[in-house]
Amino acid sequence: MKTYIQVFLTFARNSLVRDLSFRTNFLLQCVTSISWAIMNWAFFKIIFAQGKNIAIGKGTGWTENEFFIFLGTVWIINAIVQTFFMPNAQEFSELIRTGNLDFALLKPIDTQFLVSFPRLNWASLANFFLGIVVVVFYANALMHDAVNPLSLSVFQVLSYIVFIGAGVVIMYSVMISLAATSVWLGRNQNLYMIWFYLTNFYRYPMEIYQRGVIGWGLWGFFSFVVPVLVVANVPARTLAQPLRESGGNRWENWLILLLFTMALVSLWVSRRVFRWALSSYRSASS
């Protein structure tokens, strides 16, 4: 275990040294991701300003402030994924294509670990902090709500953090499994696109899917097959408690169970897929 921590810290350190040696690039990346987040926030602000009729929250139980906690949570998770996993998943595809995965296979350490963490994109962490600011700001607003104030315990805040952790595990597993398919596809430049399409569905409260055949179909698929829907939903509703007025939702606890089950299952599946991919790996010309 000590080895793994040391190796991880060395990766983190080396990536930071590397990122900082390209100073302008680093700053630009920070600015870009922060600008994206602000535009994202402004977009929903405008939607909510249109009146409740077209609001995301209509009929779903999520009010404006609650929804922004959800949004902040999505930013936090996205930032973690983009800092730790995105560059590595892309690099992993590239390692397979060029045959440089050879070197990872030589090392006396778990190969999945070794290809999952070598590059950390520190600039993406900007949104992580911005997400925290948003979540804290809107949680505070909800706690001072005149009509229906929110009460938060330390336990709930801790749960929120643990749930985010479990959500991140799911995102990691989906991503590394997708990247591993490069072994069979030879080239997988679609990775980013597929990822983008999939994660588009996790950015909204699950209530918006719970209507009609297509909606429920999507809900089922993204809850049980590619379980990205629970990733942001479970932590966000723990904190924002959108349905507290009506006495909560009876499947709240089931969702938590689903989150942890899916985190374990998807991690296990990702390891199977990874090993399977390695056994089909054929390296590339010298």
The residues of the shown chain that bind another protein, judged by CB under 8 A, are 3, 6-7, 10-11, 14, 17-18, 21-22, 98-103, 105-109, 111, 114, 279, 281-283, 285-286
| N-term to C-term CA, the chain | 34
Amino acid identity, position 118: P
Query: Least distance to another protein from the beta carbon of 177, Å?
Result: 20
Give the integer Cα–Cα distance in Å for 151 and 161: 17
Residue labelled with tokens 């950390």: 120
Q: Which residues lie below 8 Å from residue 268, measured CB to CB, with a gap of 6+?
A: none
> Where do the H-state alpha helices sit in 181-211?
182-185, 191-200
Nearer to another protein, 53 or 286 (CB): 286
Query: Least distance to another protein from the beta carbon of 10, Å?
Result: 5
Query: Least distance to another protein from the beta carbon of 187, Å?
Result: 12
Nearer to another protein, 21 or 153 (CB): 21
Nearer to another protein, 210 or 280 (CB): 280
DSSP 8-state class, residue 20: H
CB 113 within 8 A of CB 84: no
Q: Which residues lie below 8 Å from residue 17, measured CB to CB, with a gap of 6+?
A: none
Nearer to another protein, 102 or 145 (CB): 102
Chain centroid to CA 82: 8
Query: Least distance to another protein from the beta carbon of 24, Å?
Result: 15
Nearer to another protein, 5 or 214 (CB): 5
Question: Residues for the chain: how many in total?
Answer: 286
Nearer to another protein, 7 or 34 (CB): 7
Nearer to another protein, 111 or 190 (CB): 111
Task: Please give the helix or strand (H or E) that residue 114 lies within, else none.
Answer: helix 111-116
Nearer to another protein, 153 or 285 (CB): 285
Give the integer Cα–Cα distance in Å for 215 and 207: 9
In angstroms, the Cα distances linking 82 to 45, 75, 85, 90, 161 are 25, 10, 6, 11, 18
Query: Least distance to another protein from the beta carbon of 18, Å?
Result: 5
Query: Least distance to another protein from the beta carbon of 29, Å?
Result: 15
| 44 half-sphere exposure, CB direction, 13 A CA radius | 20
What six digits make up the tokens of 136? 């804290």
Query: Least distance to another protein from the beta carbon of 283, Å?
Result: 5
Nearest to 131 by CA among 182, 71, 178: 71
Query: Least distance to another protein from the beta carbon of 268, Å?
Result: 20
Give the integer Cα–Cα distance in Å for 194 and 133: 29
